[in-house]
């Protein structure tokens, strides 16, 4: 009678374990960038949805108000009779900045047309990860609102003499933007988005023009825009200096922006100048 021998299970050798680990590392290296890009695309889609809701709300407001434009400066004087798209309450220390901004939107002129307080925020906006400290002097000040209205459309008084206030003044609605996705390292934006669009002429080729307020580039070097005909766009920045400027978290970056000069981001500055509406560029 033979005795059946029982074999012990063979363990992995060190070399086999190292091979498995190496394979997992290679797969992770291949998959993680793809997952990161997929996440950016999802955030970009969310951002475009926000911009679409704002643009459609803007159009409905215009239709209900005899063609008058909603105010793009949150701190507009009520005595002017202009209703801002959101009010500009300054948060106080200890307050919930996000809640303050949401209430500002509810108090503005667009909430009844776009009744979603989250429409103000792009999930890719990294400023929302910063500490909520009022007037924090270091870069990275908390901000939850991701979009700023074009200052030439009844907005900031940067170029008050050339602002428009009626929809009928917009000659090229498909080529003039409403909201810009902005990165302002100083905190919440409290005015319209402005550029230095060759104040002397405000016409192409915009020689000497420059960014003032910084655009964003949270979606892999792109930024979203909404336009006066209601369409939205995820715009890819073409010049590396624009992306660097857009992502820079220096509160004083506006003092050294890309400009239209040799080798200094002429394509991107020209793009925002072309779409920036005013009486001279309708």
161 pLDDT higher than 70: no
Which string of b and e fits 100-116 if b means at least 16 CB within 10 Å? bbbbbbeebbbbebbee
Contacts of 205 (CB under 8 A, 6+ apart): 260, 270
Integer Cα distance of 8 and 31 in angstroms = 37
Stretch (H or E) spanning 234? strand 232-236
Could you give the angle at the alpha carbon of 214 between the alpha carbons of 208 and 218, nearest 5°?
A: 135
Q: Which of 103, 161, 96, 101 is nearest to 132 (CA)?
A: 96
- Residue that has been written with the tokens 């798209």 in this structure: 85
pLDDT computed for residue 94 by the predictor: 65
Mean pLDDT score, 263-280:
81
Tell me if 4 is assigned to some domain.
no
Integer Cα distance of 61 and 50 in angstroms = 16
pLDDT computed for residue 175 by the predictor: 95
Using DSSP's 3-state secondary structure scheme, residue 222 falls into strand
Q: Which two tokens stand for residue 166?
A: 């009626």
Number of domains making up the chain: 1
Integer Cα distance of 96 and 104 in angstroms = 12
Residue 239 and residue 210 in contact, taking contact as beta carbons nearer than 8 Å: no
Model confidence pLDDT, tens digit, residues 131-154: 665 444 444 467 889 999 998 888
Model confidence pLDDT, tens digit, residues 75-122: 777 667 788 999 887 666 667 888 888 999 999 999 999 999 999 999
Integer Cα distance of 221 and 55 in angstroms = 23
Integer Cα distance of 99 and 15 in angstroms = 56
Tell me if 6 is assigned to some domain.
no
57 pLDDT higher than 90: yes
**Boundaries of domain holding 238:** 15-275
Model confidence pLDDT, tens digit, residues 214-261: 899 999 899 999 999 999 999 999 988 899 999 998 888 888 888 776
Integer Cα distance of 255 and 263 in angstroms = 18
Model confidence pLDDT, tens digit, residues 5-32: 556 666 667 777 778 788 887 777 776 6
């Amino acid at each position: 009678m033979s005795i059946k021998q029982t074999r012990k299970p063979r363990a992995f050798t060190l070399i086999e374990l190292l091979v498995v680990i190496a394979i997992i590392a290679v797969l992770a290296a291949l998959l993680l960038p793809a997952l990161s890009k997929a996440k950016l695309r999802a955030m970009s889609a969310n951002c475009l949805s926000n911009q679409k809701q704002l643009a459609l709300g803007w159009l409905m407001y215009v239709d209900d108000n005899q063609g008058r434009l909603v105010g793009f400066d949150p701190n507009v004087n009520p005595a002017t009779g202009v209703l801002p798209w959101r009010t500009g309450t300054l948060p106080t220390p200890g307050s919930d900045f996000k809640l303050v901004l949401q209430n500002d939107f509810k108090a503005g002129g667009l909430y009844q047309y776009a009744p979603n307080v989250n429409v103000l925020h792009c999930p890719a906006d990294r400023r929302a990860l910063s500490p909520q400290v009022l007037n924090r002097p270091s870069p990275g000040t908390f901000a939850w609102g991701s979009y700023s209205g074009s200052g030439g459309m009844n907005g900031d008084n940067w170029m008050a003499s050339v602002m428009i206030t009626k929809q009928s003044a917009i000659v090229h609605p498909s080529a003039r933007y409403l909201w810009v996705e902005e990165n302002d390292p100083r905190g919440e934006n409290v005015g319209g988005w402005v550029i230095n669009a060759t104040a002397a002429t405000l016409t192409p080729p915009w020689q000497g023009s420059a960014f003032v307020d910084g655009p964003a580039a949270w979606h892999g070097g792109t930024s979203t825009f909404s336009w006066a005909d209601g369409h939205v766009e995820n715009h890819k920045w073409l010049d590396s200096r624009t992306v660097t400027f857009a992502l820079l978290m220096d509160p004083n970056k506006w003092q050294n922006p890309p400009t239209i000069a040799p080798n200094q981001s002429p394509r991107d500055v020209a793009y925002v100048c072309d779409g920036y509406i005013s009486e001279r560029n309708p």
